[in-house]
Amino acid sequence: MMTEPISVTALNQYIKGLLDRDRLLSQVLVRSEISNYKVYPSGHHYFSLKDAESSIRCVMFRREAGTLRFRPENGMKVVVTGRVSLFPRDGVYQLYCSRMVPDGVGELAFAFEQLKNRLYREGLFDSAHKQPIPSFPHTIALVTSPAGAAVRDMIRILGTRWPLAEVLVVPVRVQGEEAPMEICQALELINLCHMADLIITGRGGGTMEDLWAFNEEAVARAIYRSEIPVISAVGHEPDVTIADFVADLRAATPSNGAELAVPDQRDLRETLDHLEARLQSAMDRAIQQRRDQLHQVQGSPFLHSPLRSIQEKRLLLDYHQQRLAHGMERQVQQARQNIGRLAASLDALSPFQVLNRGYSIAQGQDGTVVSAVDQVTPGDALSIRVSDGTVFCTATGKEKHRWQKKR
* Cα–Cα distance for residue pair 164/281, rounded to 1 Å: 30
| pLDDT tier, 403 (very low <50, low <70, confident <90, very high otherwise) | low
Angle subtended at Cα 226 by Cα 119 and Cα 66, rounded to the nearest 5 degrees: 50
Q: pLDDT tens, 353-370?
A: 666 666 778 888 887 887
More confidently predicted of 223 and 341: 223
Mean pLDDT calculated for residue range 206-216: 89
More confidently predicted of 56 and 310: 56
Of residues 188, 195, 191, the one with CA closest to residue 169: 195
pLDDT winner (highest mean) among 224-233, 332-341, 398-407: 224-233
| pLDDT tier, 1 (very low <50, low <70, confident <90, very high otherwise) | low
Question: 80 Cβ partners below 8 Å, 6+ apart?
Answer: 29, 30, 31, 32, 49, 58, 95, 97, 99, 100
**Residue 372, pLDDT score:** 82
Q: pLDDT tens, 88-144?
A: 888 888 999 988 887 766 667 778 888 888 899 999 999 999 999 999 999 999 999
Angle subtended at Cα 166 by Cα 200 and Cα 176, rounded to the nearest 5 degrees: 35
Percent of the chain clearing pLDDT 90 (strictly above)? 43
Question: 111 Cβ partners below 8 Å, 6+ apart?
Answer: 69, 70, 215
pLDDT reading at 238 higher than 60:
yes
**Residue 407, pLDDT score:** 45
* Cα–Cα distance for residue pair 44/74, rounded to 1 Å: 16
Q: pLDDT tens, 25-60?
A: 888 888 888 888 999 998 899 999 988 888 899 999
| pLDDT tier, 278 (very low <50, low <70, confident <90, very high otherwise) | very high
Query: Please, what's the largest Cα pairwise distance for the chain?
Result: 195
pLDDT reading at 405 higher than 70:
no
The CA radius of gyration of the chain, in Å to the nearest whole number, is: 60
| pLDDT tier, 404 (very low <50, low <70, confident <90, very high otherwise) | low
More confidently predicted of 204 and 113: 204
Mean pLDDT of the chain: 87
More confidently predicted of 148 and 407: 148
Mean pLDDT calculated for residue range 366-380: 80
Q: pLDDT tens, 152-200?
A: 999 999 999 999 999 999 999 999 989 999 999 999 999 999 999 999 9
Mean pLDDT calculated for residue range 205-228: 92
**Residue 297, pLDDT score:** 79
**Residue 189, pLDDT score:** 97
